[in-house]
Chains A and B, each alone.
Chain A
Amino acid sequence: MTLRQYLRRAWPLYAMIVPGIVFVLLFRYYPMYGIVIAFQDFSPAKGFLHSPWVGWENFEFLFSLPEFGRVFRNTLIIAVAKIVADQVGAIILALLLNEARLMLFRRTIQTMIYLPYFLSWIVLGGILLDILAPHGILNQAIASLGGERQLFLGSNNWFRGTVIVSGFWKNVGFSTIIYLAALTAINPVLHEASAIDGAGRFRRIWHITLPGIRPTMVLLAALSLGDVLEAGFEQILTLYSPAVYRTGDIIDTHVYRVGLVSAQHSLAGAVGLFKSFISFFLIALSYYLADRFAGYRIL
């Protein structure tokens, strides 16, 4: 088949791709030109073209902020813990739900754990503030069991844990659904065969279910590497207070406060670029890992 023949046959397919490519160019690539403000002392009146250039000054300022090390560490710790908790929790929940026999029970639980995903952090923040208050339901329970009341949101010992657990509570339902979908793809014949061979429930999970979803596990874990600097801006902004800056302040919330003092567009641009830069490498790495261990490729 010559190229000419091929094009004659395939041109409608290419034509259909065009709007998508135009969209991506227009709304994903063209705005990237705005990255220049990270290297400028940007002023909206002067625009991208006429704002003075300042080289690396915005980045130098960002890295020289006295708290930069602290917020970077907090961001990494919280984000990594969230990724791990989310993945492991989702797998366990998916396995448990998968073993449940009663469809009604399974559906109900699934809906319940999925529900918080749809609430905004502003709403959940208010709820958490009530639940975790010194005389809130959780502390009342602790006190009635003879324990000491804890300041879950106000103490540096607890804050990270509270953020990670509440983030897990909100998001785990969503990740679970992906695993449940992967579980349905496992051929039931394998389960039946091993049951006949005398394998118990745990044996079957270990030798059939888990290997069956391994590609999905590797893929999701690898792809979540790109989120390693996303510790959850809205969540922390809703829950934190100056008392827990030491353990709870992340890059996003810190820059948010720095930017509030005056409209530091360029600084915000520099932060965005810095995070994108790190994420870019991590995504490239995760793509390599996904290919290597799960055989996942785009091309």
Chain B
Amino acid sequence: MNRKLPFKTSDLKPSRRDFLRLSGASMAAMMMARYGVPPVFAQGMGDIPAELHPGSPNNPRGWTTALPPIPEGMPVDPPVTITGSRRGPWEFADGDDIENSNFTRLNAAVTGIIWKLAFSWTDNEEEVLQKYNLAIASNELPDFMETVPLQIYGELLDNDLVEDITEVWDAVADPVWLKEAWSFGGGAAWQHADVNGRKMSLPHTEQAAQNDKLLWIRQDWLDAVGMSIPTTIDELYQVAKAFVDADLGAGAEGSTIGIAAANNPVTWYSSLDPIFGAWGVMPGYWTPNEGGDLQYNSVLPEIKEVLALLRQWYAEGIFAQDYFTLRPPQTAFGQIGANTCGITMSPAFAALFGLPDSVTNDPSARWTWGDIPAGPTGIKKKAWSNPVVDSVFCFRKGFEHVDLVLKQIGWWAELLQNPENRYHGFEGTDYYWRDDDGEVDPMGANLDLASGYDGNKHIWGPPGTNGSALTEPRFETNWIKHRREVWANVPEDERDAYMEAFLGGDELSVLWDDANVFAVERWELDGIRNHFTTFPTRTMERAGASLADLEAETFVNIITGQASLDDFDSFASDWAAGGGDRITDEVNEWWHGQM
């Protein structure tokens, strides 16, 4: 019997709004939900009662989840109560809440830890600061503090309110899913968490290459103008110009644009960073020069060359005339989605965000992707997306059970991130079996993801945090590979519901997988890294915003022709005089102190 599962792709992709919040762990959970894993029977269950177990082993078309071995000395007896802060929002089945859900019940059985909510927030920009500031001011810090923004973290450190976890970490942290996972990039994960050689917190990391750009392009438009995927900047220009001249876009006559662009040339969607990268520079980044000092890229002469090129492109209609008034999501909806544009330099997830709108609005749209184009001297570089988020997980000074929390985090990291474990959430919470009438039917063969499915965000600690907090940044790619290498070999009649549904997938999701694997392969090779990775320096705090304004204003006015190209030179000297020289000194003082 080969019944098709009743969900549409649109149920599986996050809403636009969700997407801005979603990334890393929650995306990973979605991946798991989409692709499932081969049948391996429960192992390492120990004394965990069956009703607490994730997966749905009792369903004839269901699956089981393997639990990692229970950490040594756990569950602790008597149970320990720990308070923690959490980032919302969340949604639970009837009767459950953040302190009592499938996740916390399983966690209590495994670790003996009872979690109590100290406070929570949903708005991760302002509300989070208010809540933490209030906790600091009222001297009521929770034992475990989730995704603490850097400025709060600095405040906590200055006032000696954070527990030093160096020794405990060395003793109990999981060697694979914590220690090894956070060892990428020569210790890059620890850029905030490590303070003067002491571990003061845990890193907050996301999917590798999450925002690394690829060249997304309309294959049907390429066919229409008889060209192929551009591999150099010059070819990119030729193709974009051909698209504009042929006016292939939807909408008013003459409204086709060549390349999607947003207000900031280096951004997360419809970015121009690969064009700067083709000259080996990245605006806003600090990179080492030949002498070993860090230099601010935006004032380098190569930038002027790129600006001259972009200025010419703008004048020829390669970019939307009002591109600089648009913010990144607007380009996704307004240019890509509305099909006025056939080229965007966006991350792999463009296949899920932006491009689906394009295909919905014009079913004949066929997108494809290629590597970023190379510059005149053969350089091919892009902005390296740092998977380390500007926030950390830390512990209250004097908290006695850091070891327990670290063990818990290690256990969940393995459960959620090891493809062999076949974790996909809990039946009845994260997904339902439904019959054809939409009734929840535990024995039916039809699978329905609960609305707003966001997987494993309901347990305290990095891999369960809302807003993504993987420990293994290559996790998503590992999943794709696992699915392609392992599941594809499972005979069709032995596949469970998830595998059957998600092996293959529609055109865009296959493109997404391919692009994702490719982007991660090139992650460490093609990325230009911003080497300045600490708190803003004193002069940055004071003059940084004005200098950033000056830069943004100068660049956009040069590109759009409201200023002359030679304004770049006066910008460079104004930047240096307006605090840039002092900032450079401060940055290098930090940089050389690092080594």
Contacts and interface: CB of A to CB of B under 8 A. Distances in A.
B252 A45 contact: no
Contacts of A246: 553
A135 interface: yes
Contacts of B156: 45
Nearest to B340: A135
Interface in B549-575: 549, 552-553, 555-557, 560, 562
A263 B545 CA distance: 12
A263 B129 contact: yes
Contacts of B324: 154, 241-243
12 contacts: A44-B136, A65-B546, A66-B578, A67-B546, A129-B330, A154-B322, A242-B549, A242-B556, A243-B560, A254-B549, A258-B546, A261-B544
A263 B562 contact: no
A237 to B, nearest CB: 11
Contacts of A262: 151, 535-536, 541
Contacts of A254: 549
Contacts, number: 93
Contacts of A44: 133, 136-137, 155
Contacts of B545: 257-261
A66 B543 CA distance: 9
Contacts of A191: none
Interface of B: 129, 133, 136-137, 151, 155-156, 158-159, 161, 251-252, 254-255, 263, 320-322, 324-326, 330, 535-536, 540-542, 544-546, 548-549, 552-553, 555-557, 560, 562, 578
A264 B560 contact: no
A263 B152 CA distance: 9
Interface in A247-299: 249, 254, 257-264
B321 A151 contact: yes
Contacts of B560: 154, 243
Task: Describe B's contact surface by its main secondary structure.
Answer: helix
Contacts of B151: 262-263
A165 to B, nearest CB: 17
A257 B552 CA distance: 12
Given A45-B158, A151-B325, 5 more contacts: A43-B155, A43-B159, A45-B136, A66-B546, A261-B548
A135 B251 contact: yes
B154 to A, nearest CB: 9
A108 B494 CA distance: 67
B140 to A, nearest CB: 12
A170 B557 CA distance: 30
Contact of A129 (B161, B325, B536, B548): B325
A133 interface: yes
Which of B129, B155, B324, B545: most chain A Cβ within 10 A? B545
Contacts of A154: 321-322, 324-325, 560
A232 B545 CA distance: 21
Contacts of B553: 242-243, 245-246
A58 to B, nearest CB: 11
Interface string A122-159: 00000001000111000010000000010101111000
Contact of B159 (A46, A65, A134, A153): A46
A140 B251 CA distance: 12
A249 B548 CA distance: 14
Given A44-B133, A151-B321, A243-B560, A264 B541 contact: yes
Nearest to B151: A263
A45 B135 CA distance: 9
A151 B578 contact: no
Contact of A140 (B137, B252, B321, B548): B252
